[in-house]
Structure 1
Amino acid sequence: MVVVRRRNVKVFTFAFLLITVTSFLLNYTHQVTMTTWDLRHLIMQFSEQVQKVFKHPRRPCSCRTCISELGHSLWFDQRFNSTMQPFLTSQNALIPEDSYRWWLKLQGEKTPKNINATLKELFGIIPGDGDPLQERGTYTCRRCAVVGNSGNLRQSQYGQDIDSHDFVLRMNRAPTAGYESDVGSKTTHHFVYPESYKELAENVSMILIPFKTLDMRWVVTALTTGTINFTYVPVPRKIKVKKEKILVYNPAFMKYVYENWLQHHGRYPSTGFLSLIFALHVCDEVNVYGFGADSKGHWHHYWENNGSAGAFRKTGVHDGDFEFNVTLTLASIEKINFFKGR
């Protein structure tokens, strides 16, 4: 009797399991069949998934806020174009015709050399890529300090804060020696053009802002023959920058800055403004120092006493007031942090 009972229990258990599994498979098959052939159901499911993605998009960085995120300011969204390439490299060394014609007029070069031949020669000497600022995956939150040359940096005590950034961008002839407590000592990238060139430390990348074809040819000769020593003023025959540390600002990006951000104010953007919009495209967080006048309304460099303070705003080349207002607007919508200094 005990043997019979055990056998009955086993049979019952097996039958129960068989019925359960069969029921599950039939139900699953029915669902798969319905899902496979019901087109409307498929479309609804796809739509739901798409909505989930848009409701919870993947953030472009791990900062508290990311500059490239849209949807927070219509003013910003109408101006910011993430497809624009700030760097000119061997891979994109083809300047669109409309950008080239606009750029060619900036400093009125009368007999410019062929631009394609110049670019071929330039990128035959310098790599033009591989810099950390060009590699988006290197940092999850790329913090940049854009340091202008305003006298409002004097006695600001910003130095330590500036040096804490991943990248510190400076421009033209800005010195740090003797001004470390106010402007910091760290520099990773320095914006120059031939007429504003200064010797850089070995670990600093030079970003050439070319305003004419001659500026690109100057880099070629400054690394080789040293034949160019004059543009509209004397320029160095030779520079000591390593070839792999030289980057080129894209003329097409300059036109984008002028049209989208400056709305055609001034003849073309200043170095400071070109540096600022450049940073919006390569950094996740941008902190701006040394822009605008000092507390007395003077526009002068922090390392000098300028008797003609304010001349920058009256040249007709750059619209300093409009550039400054754009900077303040970027700060007001929290796309940058703006430090006014003294």
Structure 2
Amino acid sequence: MARLTCRYLLKCVKLFVLFGLVNGLFIMGYKVYFEVKYRTVQYPCDLKTHNREIVKKSMLQAGNASRSHNVQEQCKPFQSRIKMSKLRKTFKSQMPLFVNENYTLWSNVAEYPLPFGVQSYESEIDDLLKVVKETAYPKELLRPGCKKCVVVGSGGILAGSGMGLEIDSYDVVMRVNGGPTRCFEKDVGTKTTMRISYPEGAPQEPGEYDPSELFVLVPFKSKDLEWLERVATGRTVSWIGYWRPRIANSVPIPRSHFRILNPEIVGHTAFDLVKFPLNKGRKYKNVPTMGTICIMAAMTVCDEVAVAGFGYNPNDPDSRVHYYEDMKMDTAFVLSTHDIHGEKQFLKDMVKYGIIKDLTGGIMW
């Protein structure tokens, strides 16, 4: 009887292991299929013959004076931060933008783990700061005077918008994740002051990086810190351990141009401003989208903040999620790990009270 029971249990264990392997292979196969079908940039031009300088010249020649007028209006110092403080009394306007050697002295940064803080990751961050040593702001933010910034998302609303010239005329251009500019200059502009992203969201094409831009990592897990160390030192990267089967293997900018976003900005945005649940610091439907994280990063250093390429129309399931790929809205909402509806109301309030200016008008949909 005991032998029969042991044999039965052994068979059950084997079946369980086999099921796990099959299920794992199925999930991996679907991820690869999804990446190829939906996550491939659809360039509308030939990259081999594309000349950005010629495109920029034609954009300037065909420039619409009325569009540039909005940007040339007199900048109002601290406007976005003053209005944000009225909407949310808990808003912190003095947080450092990047992690630096003094990060352990900051008030709430050790209260939560990544991406909301640095709890249990201090030694890894210390090691990374020995490689990524520079923590200074870009020169556009260091110059005196009032600064206007635009945060450029990847929303499908940018397709055919002709917003490129207006985007480029802002003092600081912050781009979210891997939204490409090559072949899309007329709609999204050519200028990039800093790109804020993570390994799975960063551009996979080396040609998408401008040598003068800053790359700002938003770390969600330990592998992200490892990834930054590897790309900053020119070492190879394996996709194993990441959320997607394809990640950026190279970020061809000087090592001095890499930064780490202050995780306190993510935690403050999630828990104090958007009012997501704490979940004891666990990541589940309480992580802001990269777009909102970038907006709040801009709020800490810019006097006026505008956005472009934000907002989705949930009532149109066939509309494109991004301006550069074929994924539709119905697919995005099924796959989303964010509380998109809860976050959207927060962004609507920011537009309503004049905290941010929505250049493409998608947030109020």
Same fold (TM over 0.5): yes
Note if contact 1:100-1:252 (Cα within 8 Å) is conserved in structure 2.
Answer: no
Instruction: State the Cα distance separating 1:252 from its structure 2 match.
Output: 2.1
Instruction: State the Cα distance separating 1:100 from its structure 2 match.
Output: 2.4
Q: How does 1:1-342 map to 2 (within 5 A)?
A: 63-64=75-76, 66-67=78-79, 69-70=81-82, 76-93=87-104, 96-100=109-113, 103=116, 115-132=121-138, 138-198=143-203, 199=206, 200-224=209-233, 226=235, 228-230=237-239, 231-232=241-242, 233-264=245-276, 266-293=285-312, 297=316, 298=319, 300-306=321-327, 308-315=328-335, 317-341=337-361
Note if contact 1:209-1:248 (Cα within 8 Å) is conserved in structure 2.
Answer: yes
* Deviations, residues 242-275 of structure 1 (Å, cap 9, x unaligned): 1111111122221111001221163301111100
**Matching residue of 2:36:** none
Note if contact 1:145-1:289 (Cα within 8 Å) is conserved in structure 2.
Answer: yes
Question: Structure 1 residues 122, 130: closer, same or farther in 2, change over 3 A?
Answer: same
Corresponding letter in the other structure for 1:324: K
Where structure 1 has 5 or more consecutive residues not aligned to the other structure, the ranges are 1-61, 106-111
C-alpha distance in 1 between matches for 2:212 and 2:236: 26
**Matching residue of 2:41:** none
Instruction: State the Cα distance separating 1:96 from its structure 2 match.
Output: 3.5
Where structure 2 has 5 or more consecutive residues not aligned to the other structure, the ranges are 1-73, 278-284
- Identity over aligned pairs, percent: 25
C-alpha distance in 2 between matches for 1:147 and 1:160: 13
Backbone CA RMSD of aligned residues: 2.9
Residues matched between the structures, number: 271
Question: Structure 1 residues 120, 295: closer, same or farther in 2, change over 3 A?
Answer: closer
Question: Rg: which structure is higher?
Answer: 1
TM-score by length of 1: 0.71
* Deviations, residues 116-166 of structure 1 (Å, cap 9, x unaligned): 321122111112312227x86523111111111111111212111100011
Note if contact 2:218-2:260 (Cα within 8 Å) is conserved in structure 1.
Answer: yes
